[in-house]
Amino acid sequence: MSLRLTLLAATAALLTPVMASASTPDGLPASCVTYELGGTQTTAHGLTAKTLHATLTGTDITLDIHGVTLSDPSGHVETATLERFNAVAAYAALSAFRGGISPACKDQSLTINSSDIRGGTPQATWTNVTLARPGHDMTIRKASIQAVQTTPDLRLKVEGSGIHDTKQPLMPTQLSADLTVQGLDTARQQITINALHAVTGSSAIDGKGTIEPGATASTSAADLHIGVTNVDTLIGQIRDTAPKKVVAALTIARLMGRQSGDATLWDVGLSGGVVTVNRIPLPFSVP
């Protein structure tokens, strides 16, 4: 079975590295995404590159990286597979920044065989990352992903620092996550968030839970537990910079949360297209 793009995007869409080849990978035509790598060098267990430029074909969305490192210290994962992981990550990052798959990529499918990484511990690092479109930039000083376990389940540790988004005032400046993906060789996977920690302004966001991604939100399921410190301060900090609907949504969320010291807590569920917050169904269904 293969590890699908939707799974990779969910676990590390913006925090994983890029394809180390000037040619388009199999199954992903240049009509969907193009990229150009510069200054590549083979290492003992992987490769490095000085620069990478990628774009979703037919769009004005670009990805630029000044420093890519791919490796598998165990020596089990071949360089070609590491390169393909980069391709998936670049595609996922660009698509996530766009807010969805571009029309040119709609009928394309990019997969990675889970058997290719069994027994290995592949890891990757990006430095000085910029995702851009006219009037909107997102920069990341350093992002990394490490597969600390690949058998029988896939366990990933993801970190990002120096994050800034010109359009998203709530974007965390630091982020770390410990994720376990179960069911790699089945038709349906489960993502367990062992730990999630992020920092935005003077607030800390911590979370854990499970996600079962489906083809649509209505066929997906989630059971998440989230805590945010200093919510009132956070609302005050973004009141003059964030869209009014964002401030209103955060204010309503605060009212629905329960207090524990300086943290506001939420239990968020998704089942059958219905979202619940602290066991209260929201008055809408997701498609």
The pair phi, psi for residue 264, each rounded to 5°, is: -105, 130
Evaluate whether 154 touches 183 at the Cβ level (below 8 Å): no
Distance CA 212, CA 271 (A): 10
pLDDT of residue 110: 58
| One-character DSSP codes across 55-77 | EETTSS-EEEES-EEEE-TTS-S
pLDDT-derived band at 169 (thresholds 50, 70, 90) equals: confident
Residue 255 CB burial class (10 angstroms; 0-12, 13-18, ≥19): exposed
Q: Which of 171, 226, 220, 170 is nearest to 195 (CA)?
A: 226
Structure tokens at 12: 């590390």
Distance CA 281, CA 262 (A): 25
**Distant-in-sequence, close-in-space partners of 203: CB < 8 Å, separation ≥ 6:** 228, 229, 230, 231, 233, 234
Tell me which DSSP letter residue 236 carries. Answer: H
Evaluate whether 97 touches 14 at the Cβ level (below 8 Å): yes
- Tell me the pLDDT tens digit for each residue of 34-79: 878 889 999 989 999 999 999 999 999 999 999 999 999 989 998 8
pLDDT of residue 107: 73
| Residue 28, pLDDT above cutoff 80 | no
Q: Which of 63, 67, 56, 51 is nearest to 138 (CA)?
A: 63
- Tell me the pLDDT tens digit for each residue of 95-123: 889 988 888 888 776 566 677 788 899 99
Name residue 147's beta-bridge partners.
156
What is the percent of the chain with per-residue pLDDT over 70, rounded to a whole number?
87
User: 30 in helix, strand or coil?
Assistant: coil
Mean of the per-residue pLDDT values for the chain? 84
Average pLDDT rounded to a whole number, residues 251-259: 90
Alpha helix locations (H) across the chain? 5-12, 79-98, 231-238, 244-256
Element counts in the chain: helices (H) and strands (E): 4, 19
pLDDT of residue 2: 40
| Residue 260, pLDDT above cutoff 70 | yes
pLDDT of residue 112: 63
Q: Which residue has the higher pLDDT, 3 or 207?
A: 207
Give the dihedral sign, CA 270/168/97/112: negative
| Residue 246, pLDDT above cutoff 90 | no
pLDDT-derived band at 80 (thresholds 50, 70, 90) equals: confident
Task: Give pTM, 2 decimals.
Answer: 0.80
- Tell me the pLDDT tens digit for each residue of 179-237: 999 987 777 889 999 999 999 989 999 999 999 988 788 889 999 999 999 999 988 88
pLDDT of residue 22: 42
Evaluate whether 230 touches 262 at the Cβ level (below 8 Å): yes
pLDDT of residue 184: 75
Distance CA 45, CA 123 (A): 11
What is the percent of the chain with per-residue pLDDT over 90, rounded to a whole number?
47
Among 1-10, 193-202, 245-254, 274-283, which range has the highest average pLDDT? 193-202
pLDDT of residue 26: 56
Average pLDDT rounded to a whole number, residues 260-279: 93
pLDDT of residue 109: 62
